[in-house]
Amino acid sequence: MLLERPVAGGTRRASSDPLPVAVQGVLRPMLKDPSSMMRAPRFLLLLVLALSIDAVAQAGTYQQTNGTIVDPLLYRPLLGGGVHPFAGAAGPAADLTGEDLSGADLLGADLAGAILLDASLSNALLGSADLSGADLTNADLTGANMSNVDLTGAIVTNADLTGALLPGVSGSGLVGVPAALPTGWLIVDGYLIGPEAVLPSAELAGAMLAGVDLDGVVLTNANLAGADLAGASLVGANLIGANLGGASLVGADLSNAQLGSTSLAGADLTSATLTNAIVTFVDLTGATLELADLTGSQLTGAKSSGLVGVPTALPTDWQILNGYLVGPGARLSFANLAGADLSGTDLSGAVLDHAMLSGTNLAGANLVDADLLAADLLGASLAGADLSGAQLGSSTLVGADLTGALLVNAVVTNADLTMAILTDADLTGAVLDGVAGSGVVGTPTALPAPWQLLGGYLLGPGAFLPDADLSGFALAGLDLTNAALDHAILVGADLAGTLLAGANLLGADLTGASLVAADLAGAQLGNVVLNGADLTSANVTGANATNVDFTNATIALADFTSTLLTGAVSSGLVGTPAVLPIEWRLVNGHLVGPGAVLPGADLSGAALDGMDLSNAVLTNANLAGANLNGTDLSGSDMLGANVAGANLGGANLRFVVDLSLVVGAALYDLDTDFTGTGFDPVAAGWTLLGPPAPVPSLGSLGLALLAAAAIVAALRRVPAQATS
């Protein structure tokens, strides 16, 4: 009778016959024909072949972690290879209690959750096998090659791992205590720890690992805060992203270790060896480096402050200054290095944003691509320094010495260069938008187009020059787009053809300035004084010109499309603009429209009918005889205005200020709105306009006579037309 036993990936048959099936197949014909046994050589060959076939057929099977079914089970090559006598099936969750798998080749076997209670796996080849969750209680693993094995969550109670090879083993969440471990290995908090162990994200905070051999260990993102690793060997260890804050690494060997993005804040590295270690972007805040050896280590991006002690050696171009590690690529945000001597120092790529560097000597320093955003460099010496590609946005360089400095392609946006020394400085390709540059000393060898240095002022698009005194300056044709010139003094300045689109000129004094063909589109001109200025052909479209003083200005052919002119003061204007905003007109040399400021303006006899003069200032204005029929004067101030004979029929006078104090008697009608004024036109002697005179009725006879007259007139025209 044949029995079936389940195996991974199928079934295997096992015979109940005392002789192997293959052997029976050879012997039965011979027993029927004894003479065939005389052919001994052939018989022996068949017998050996049958026994070999049966051995293969009876060998066990196992499943690799990639799903491949391996059949048969073999001896590990180092033991000579060949078919292993194990006749069972090995696979996930297999029950292999007490099985003898010694010397078996189980490379990559999937034994997750398998029961290996009392099993013998001595000298077995288990490389890359999955034993996660397996029960290895009392298992014999002596001499087994377990490199890269996954033992996560395995039960190892009383298991014997004497002499086992464990490089690359993943052992976390282990249950129980083994009877023996290989030399140099231990279990701490359920983790199998030793050289080349793989323990990513291990929770080993406060662990006692002093003197342990952890060469080549993988502890990426592990938590080792406060751990005792004094004297531990971590040569070539991978600690990327690990937390070693407050850990003791006194005398530890971390040579060639990977420490990128590791936290070593407050760690004690006294006498530690970090030769050729990769310590990029490490946090060393408050760490102790007394007698530490960092020869050849990579410190790019290292963050440090409050360092304690003096190392025996640092990488080339690095130094400790004021408790900071200073060198190329150092992270020194908010560092206080004021007054320090960093002349000639290599700080290329260093992060020094918001650093305090006032009075610091950085002469000849290499600051290529350094981040100096919002750094305080007040009075610093940067003579001969290389700042090519550096980020200097919003930095303070007031009074800084940049003689001969290279600022090629540097980003200097919104920096303050007031009174800076730029003698022979090279600013080719530098971005200077928003730069405050007044009182600048010296002449640079190059400035980015279209910037210029005139009279100590850096002038260009986006220049920041509030309150600058540029009176009489020749600025014709300059690009000052989006420049900040609020409250600047530009009296008599030549700005002909100058680009001032989007510029902030709030409160600036441009008395007598030439703005011929200047571009002021979208500019902020609120409260600007343009008294006597020449705006011939200027583009003022979309500008905010509220409360501007245009007195005696020339505005011939100027374009005021969509310009805000509320509060504009004007008189004596010269020329006719090409375009004015809707609701605005040029009347007798005045800009007239809603909110216009026209005190004392002579608008006598002007045709202002239907206009919007709401909220206008018309105090003491002369409106005598003006046509204001249907005009909106609501909210306007008419104190002392002369309205004698003015036509205010249908005018909107709602809430006019001081209407009762106007001079003269105007004309009004029943549609004139006096709401909110308290004004009595009758008492003021104003004349009420009567309704239109009615057309007299002709009657039937009159209509007949009118028709006859029309016919006679028509007949008289006929000969004249024919003659022509």
| Domain residue spans of the chain | 88-192, 199-329, 332-464
Residue 95 has pLDDT above 80, yes or no: yes
How many CB atoms neighbour CB 719 within 10 A?
Answer: 9
The pTM of this model reads: 0.79
**Angle in degrees, 0-180, between the axes of helices 21-32 and 40-58, rounded to the nearest 10:** 150
Q: What's 199-329's CATH class?
A: mainly beta
**Neighbour-count burial for 431-451, b at 16+ CB within 10 Å, e otherwise:** bbbbbbbbebebebeebbeeb
Band the pLDDT of 80: cuts 50, 70, 90.
Answer: confident
Task: Give Cα 656 to chain centroid, integer Å.
Answer: 55
Q: What is the mean pLDDT of the chain?
A: 91
Q: Helix (H, G, I), strand (E, B), or coil: what is residue 627?
A: strand
Q: Is 717 helix (H, G, I), strand (E, B) or coil?
A: helix
Q: Over the stretch 20-77, which tens digit does the pLDDT of each residue have? A: 433 444 444 544 555 554 454 554 444 444 444 444 445 689 999 999 999 889 888 8
Q: At 72, which amino acid appears?
A: P
The answer to whether residue 9 scores a pLDDT higher than 50 is no
Residue 642 C-beta-side C-alpha neighbours within 13 Å? 12
On the question of a common fold for 199-329 and 332-464, the answer reads yes
How far is it, in rounded angstroms, from Cα 249 to Cα 226? 10
pLDDT in tens, 453-493: 999 999 999 999 999 999 999 999 999 999 999 999 999 99
The identity of residue 80, as a single letter, is G
Q: Bridge partners of 331?
A: 303, 351
Answer whether CATH 2.40.128.50 is correct for domain 332-464: no
Choose among 241, 563, 246, 496: nearest CA to 229: 246
Least confident interval from 79-83, 280-284, 411-415, 427-431: 79-83
- Residue 43's contacts (CB-CB under 8 Å, 6 or more residues apart) are 26, 30, 36, 37
User: Domain 88-192: which CATH class?
Assistant: mainly beta
